Structure 1
């Protein structure tokens, strides 16, 4: 019987994408093993076609919060798999409990995780310093053995269906073949979002000074941001032919389709959010805008060509690992002081270098 390994990663979408390099490393280290992964319901599609993973478990957090009995039913199903080893890169109390109740003789997690005493081996996880992929690799390797190069970047595998959808939508959307630059103006956390006015200034510079089209991306929840950007764009001094190069895919792509759009982009400009990690998977040139958070948290771009844009000299940064809903200081200078000209210059640098 092959060794059965479970990896528990029920964090946000961006964390899951970054974890795919860890999934690959586990499979390479245990070539004859069967690797299963436990993720949040709704994020599993980014693991489609992944050859490193034999089975994906989906945890419905809303369901188990409403019905604790459903949680124990879920745990029993996991336990029936009789796993030999569990890795728990997510450090919640729930993840530690799931790991423990699998009954696996080897359970590896972070020292800082909730109920860490339930693991059989714990590894320190510094809050700042190493990139997230290094923190993940520490569960499997000694630092001198960490994978390098391509193996640090995420592994995503869009399928033929997504490739076909991309080709069809692209031919209808874009009138020229000069490439396109993606703009991801949203984030789950408000203090990680650069104001739409700043994005409008960057978009205007691209349309006036470069030949590529500009495409907004985001989920249906971001339609309000899209509408605000379009309203503000009406007052920008642009010619008709320049305005015609601004498009939106907000709310029009699923996660797998989004992969292909990012894969084929000339570059992407994004807040500190999951599109950055999609771009890292495909080595897409990236400009990353930081507000409430900082690069030292370890979630920066892994693309070879990338630039980090942040407002330095603010004692209040970071104001939280994820940012927050409102600026605790009331001034929001980390984003209101962002310089759109500097962002455009960074974009030109990552494209030409």
Structure 2
């Protein structure tokens, strides 16, 4: 039987989207167990995919590159002579990059005219969680007339009929190498932070995904009153926000801060040591879920049906159920009231944590 020996996948989306793609890569590996599978990822988050055992090489693409540098990058990737390219992102940038990479066959998402360079377009109107959205892509590969000569559908690792039955059973599992665990342990030891702490992640890629700073301070005060140590995490851009929050915390000696001081894989190792992470819908909460940590996610403008964390521990969703305007998916509140976040109070989260026996 013919075999595909070289596959490239492109996804320049955010950290959470890459985490959601882990089951996709596991099933892709089952379909093509002997193939070289490479990934082109957003350089801000590529590190998190380099420990994925189902991916052979991860290439970092900087979205700030100009046209010439992007072209040079794609020409370099082209030298790998891929037989199959998969676009699981589907915007114009990824479509153009794969056009230059020039794989023998290109399959992917491509609505709004962006499928012009595809040999086969995958339906991207599926309304489901992102994990299932990516798994539908696997289903489309199995059914593809372009690939029927490459594998025996009857002996495929993941039967087409089983896709829908695997919902909720497949979730991302992030493997952390020992060196990152050791580095994280040292950072926690240097802070004199003991096991059982609670992580607060206050940032968000959109302004509307960020729960108000004063609410985080109120939540931290309530958790500290109940005997919990608090660790703040995030990227360098979150530093000022976190400092402002800590300023309003009463018992500062019970707060610790690693914001901007960890790599993504170190962050994963830190989250693994935590009892719980509380966050808006942003990358670190999905990392925490993938390492088996309990999560509480505050959802505002984004759709929890599509983006809720999945993992083997508890993954609790908090949302303002009384609003018809959410999820709007907007970076600024169209109605200027931001009720989806402002009407969620710290006391409500404490009540839920007690109900779920998480504190």
TM-score range, shorter chain: 0.7 to 0.9
1:294 corresponds, among 303, 315, 322, to: 303
Matched positions, count: 336
SS in 1 for 2:322: coil
Match of 1:226 in 2: 242
How well do the aligned residues superpose, as a CA RMSD in angstroms? 2.3
Match of 2:335 in 1: 329
Q: Does 1:271 align with 2:271?
A: no
Match of 1:33 in 2: 35
Q: Is the 8 A contact 1:199 1:340 kept in 2?
A: yes
- Per-residue deviation, 1:175: 5.2
Q: Does 1:15 align with 2:17?
A: yes
Moved more, 130-139 or 78-87: 78-87
SS in 2 for 1:334: helix
- Per-residue deviation, 1:114: 5.0
SS in 1 for 2:205: coil
Match of 1:213 in 2: 229
Q: Is the 8 A contact 2:18 2:49 kept in 1?
A: no
Q: Residue by residue, what CA displacement relative to the aligned partner does 1:173-204 show, whole Å, maximum 9, x if unpaired?
A: 23544x11110111021111110111122111
- Per-residue deviation, 1:306: 1.6
Match of 2:153 in 1: none
Match of 2:161 in 1: 144
Question: Hey, what's the Cα distance between the residues in 2 that align with 1:23 and 1:349?
Answer: 36
Q: Is the 8 A contact 2:50 2:58 kept in 1?
A: no
Q: Does the C-alpha gap of structure 1 residues 60 and 299 become closer, same or farther in structure 2, counting only changes over 3 Å?
A: same
- Per-residue deviation, 1:247: 1.1
SS in 2 for 1:141: helix
Q: Does the C-alpha gap of structure 1 residues 343 and 352 become closer, same or farther in structure 2, counting only changes over 3 Å?
A: closer
Match of 1:283 in 2: 292
Q: TM-score, normalised by structure 1?
A: 0.88
- Per-residue deviation, 1:352: 4.5
1:158 corresponds, among 154, 159, 176, to: 176
Question: Hey, what's the Cα distance between the residues in 2 that align with 1:87 and 1:224?
Answer: 39
Question: Hey, what's the Cα distance between the residues in 1 that align with 2:115 and 2:179?
Answer: 42
Equivalent residue runs for 1:86-235 within 5 Å: 86-112=85-111, 115-126=114-125, 129-141=127-139, 144-146=161-163, 148=166, 152-174=170-192, 176-177=194-195, 179-209=196-226, 211-234=227-250
Question: Hey, what's the Cα distance between the residues in 2 that align with 1:36 and 1:175?
Answer: 38
Question: Hey, what's the Cα distance between the residues in 1 that align with 2:215 and 2:14?
Answer: 26
- Per-residue deviation, 1:115: 1.5
Structure 2 regions of 5+ residues with no counterpart? 141-159
Q: TM-score, normalised by structure 2?
A: 0.86
